[in-house]
Structure formats: structure tokens, C-alpha cells
Structure 1
Amino acid sequence: MNHADPALGLPADDGGALDMLTMLQFADSFFPSGATSFSWGLESLRHDARVSNAEQVFEVLCAHIEQRWAGFDRPLMHAAREAWVQRGAAALSDAIELDRLCEAMNLTRSWRDASRRLGFTQLRVHADLGQGIAQVYLDQVRASGLPGHLPVVQGLVWGAYGLSAAGCDAMASSGLCTTVVGAALRLGLIGHTEGQRLLTRTRPLIARVMAAPPCPVDALWSGAPVLDLAAMRHEPRAARLFAN
């Protein structure tokens, strides 16, 4: 982002400050992303007595980052962002293909439904904020039944804001971790201070993942069967606090 915001009084070349403020806004838990409706398998793991303390919550965080996000969501997000960087609005066709690929390879129904719901929410909010490509893609999702998966939406929309690949990585990974930690708090597994310790402990792991280039989209992978099984076991339960 290289433009000025007269209301903020920022100079036109102060893109670093503008990018930082944008990332802080979009990654903040106050942003209406809808993510707090999901526990990403944690509620089911707690119900099955597989997770009962902070160390086990940390293991769930590591599994999500290393075994799901790193090989699946992250490459899709990067591909959508790169398509925007290279082609601008013409990247819509690339995003549609990535969206369909994400749908086809998201084999666990609750992960698939969560990704669609969160992607739709992101599109709707950013369209309301005046982001043109978000409105265009939202119209496509509504008109043609495109899934609108979260990582594709993140890459496309955040790329349109001019955010860097590293910035997108930081926002997506920290947002995922914050959601899981928030679910752990609501489930009574940890306290607030312990939650902050867990987020601090995930930083080196996230940094290691970010240091490696994302795999190509024709080599997407996900290797977290415990999380997949937890999500599947959660679906038929009548009494539950979270959607997954």
C-alpha cells in the first residue's frame, strides 16, 4: 500500500505504517470474522478427554499450524494473493479454480463448512468496507454457488489491499491460533494468562513455517488425522458450544 490517508495525516510514502495498521485491524479479534463460532476440533477433543490442560492445547495448536495450515491453507492463500499481484482483477478466474480445488480436497465436512462460512463472512465484511474485488467475488459466490473458501478469499482480498506475503502469513496463522486459544478459554481448559503464553510459544513454530516457501498447489497436503477425526465426531453431537 503506497497511498496516503488524509484523515490520518500519513505521508504518501509511509506504506509500512499503513500496512501495519491494516494488518492490526484485520487480524484483531474485534474484526467481525465469525471465527469465534469454531473450536477447530478442540471441543470434541475435550469431550473425548483427549485434551484437558494447556500443554495438550499447545499440541493442538502445533498440529493445526504444522500439519494442516502449512501444507493446505497457506499454499492456497499464497496462490490467490500471487494471482492478484500478477494479474489484478483478472485473477478472479484463478481464484475460482483455487476455490474449487480447495472444495475438492477438503474431505472433512466440518472443516469444509467452516472454511466456506468464514470465507463468505470475510467477503461480506470487506465488501461492506468498500473493497471492490470482495464485492465482485461475493456476487460470484451468491450467483453461482462457488464455495468461497477462507484461504482463497484471504489471499485475494488481502492481496488487493497490497499486503505482503509475509503479512498474510502472519495474519492467517496468528488468527487461527487466537481462535483455538479463545475456544480453550471458553471451554475452561486454560486461563487468560496461560492463553497468552501459548500464543507466545507458537511464534517460533510459525516463523519456521513462514521461512519455507509454500508448496505448489498441485502438491497440497494435510496430515492431521486426529484433528480430522475430532471434527467428524463433533458433527453428530447434539449438545455443543461450537460449530466444529
Structure 2
Amino acid sequence: MSLSPTHLLIALQHADGQFPSGGFAFSQGLEASSSLAGKLGPFDFADFVATQIRHRWADADRVALVRAHRLAGDLDGLAELDREVEASTFVEGLRSGSRRNGMALLTTHGRLGTKGASACRDMVRKGDACGHLAVVQGLVWQALDLDEATAVAIGGYQMVASLATAAVRLGLIGAIDAQAATARALPVIEAAACRAVADDEALRSFTPLCEIAVALHGASGQRLFSN
């Protein structure tokens, strides 16, 4: 993957954790899994990240992002893909987190004038689409003229970086350990990203312990993150 300086700078801007996407409120099951370790078995941050990459992101979020990117702004096609993501995400906490993150990203890009973002946001508000994060990522990064491989790399990096940030906020690891864990995860992202995706590839994930933890987490009274 070779990017022009312009496209590299755009990719860095949109991969930056300071880019306003709304993800700070969600831990993607990290908080639930770590707090329920006594009930669900030992918790290890590095293992949790690797499981999320291999068994959710690689075959679900990454696939949705790639398929959305290839739709090149086709809003009807994006809405159909959105409904597929909705149907394939079993736990409400993960569904709602994905929708809220996606809507936050759409709102930001709408205000920035990214092509298709405002129209897609209007569809979500009318109930004609769900606005799941991976679908929105594919839409807006394609509109910014970032190629498929770059969009996938940003998506994978953001997922791991957000988990590392959440782990630091929860006091599970320190800032240096977070960077070390992120570095170890990058080759796992790269390996997953190299797998081909068919235009009609089904979305698949298998993270049962995380999903159980999120479901139990939803009934708990005190928590830092929404999921």
C-alpha cells in the first residue's frame, strides 16, 4: 500500500484518536468482560484484543466496511448493508453502541461537508437506515478518496486504539503498556486485512464471552462505559 503525501495526511487525520467520532463512551465489551472476569473466567487485555480482531472485526466489521466502501455512496445499498449489520449483531449493547458511534461520525462528517454524510444521516433519522459504524466508515472514507486497503487499516487501528484507551481509563493497564499492546496487535490487524472479501460476503463473528458480558453489563448499575 503506497499513499501519496496528501492521502497519507488525510488517513492520519481520520485515524487520530482526537477526531470527534463519539467512541469515547464505548468500550466494545472491554469493561464488561474485565469486571465480570470472576464469573466468566480470567481476563487478559492482549487476549481480549486479539479475540476482537480475529473473531469480530476481521469477519464482521471489516467486511461491512469493505462492502460499504465498494458501494461508493449508493445510499440504498448502504441502507441494505446497514440492516444486515443490525440483524447480525446479537447483543443490544453492541448494536446500540455501533449505531451511536456511526451517527456521531456521520454528524461530524456532515458538518465537514463530506460527500454523502448528510444524506445518510437524514436516512438514519427517518428510520430508513441504522447508521452502523463500519458502514459509515466505508461511506465517508471512500468519499474522502481513501482506497479500500487504507480504509481497512484505519478501521482496524481505531478499533485497537479505542480498546487501549478504554483499558487505560478503566485502570487495567498503563499508558506504556497500552502502546505496547497496540504495537503487538498491528500484525494481527495486517494479517486479517489481507484476507479477500467478496462483494456479497456474509458477516460473521464469534465472541460469545464478550457478548454475554455485555448483556450482563447492561443490567449493572455502575459503569464507566455504555457497553
TM-score range, shorter chain: over 0.9
Partner of 1:40: 28
Task: Map residues 61-140 of structure 1 onto 2, 5 A cutoff.
Answer: 61-84=49-72, 89=73, 91-140=74-123
Quote the residue 1:9 is aligned against.
none
| SS of residue in 2 equivalent to 1:132 | coil
Larger Rg: 1
Determine whether 1:56 maps to 2:55. Answer: no
Q: 1:52 to 1:58 in 2, by over 3 A?
A: farther
Deviations 1:217-242 (A, max 9, x none): 44321011111111111101110000
CA distance in 2, matches of 1:217, 1:106: 17
Question: Do residues 151 (structure 1) and 139 (structure 2) align?
Answer: no
Q: CA RMSD in A?
A: 1.8
60-69 vs 214-223, which moves further: 214-223
Offset from partner CA, 1:64-116 (integer Å, 9 cap, x none)? 110001111111111111110xxxx4x11110110111111111101100110
Distance 1:20 1:200, change over 3 A: same
Q: Verify the 8 A CA contact 2:168 2:178 in the aligned structure 1.
A: yes
1:123-142 Cα distance to aligned partner (Å, 9 max, x none): 00000001130011111111
State how many pairs are aligned.
224
**Structure 2: which amino acid aligns with 1:200?**
A
Deviation larger for 142-151 or 108-117:
142-151
For residue 34 of structure 1, what is the amino acid of its counterpart?
G
What TM-score comes out, normalization by structure 2 length? 0.93
SS at match of 2:116: helix
| Alpha-carbon distance, 1:215 to partner | 5.2
1:147-187, Cα deviation, whole Å (9 max, x unpaired): 11111111111111111111111111110101111111011
Match of 1:184 in 2: 167
Structure 1: any 5+ residue segments left out of the alignment? Answer: 1-14
Question: Do 2:85 and 2:203's aligned partners in 1 also have CA atoms closer than 8 Å?
Answer: no
- TM-score w.r.t. the length of structure 1 is 0.87
Contact 2:51 2:207 (C-alpha < 8 Å) held by counterparts: yes
Q: Are the equivalent residues in 2 in contact too, given 1:52–1:189 (CA < 8 A)?
A: no
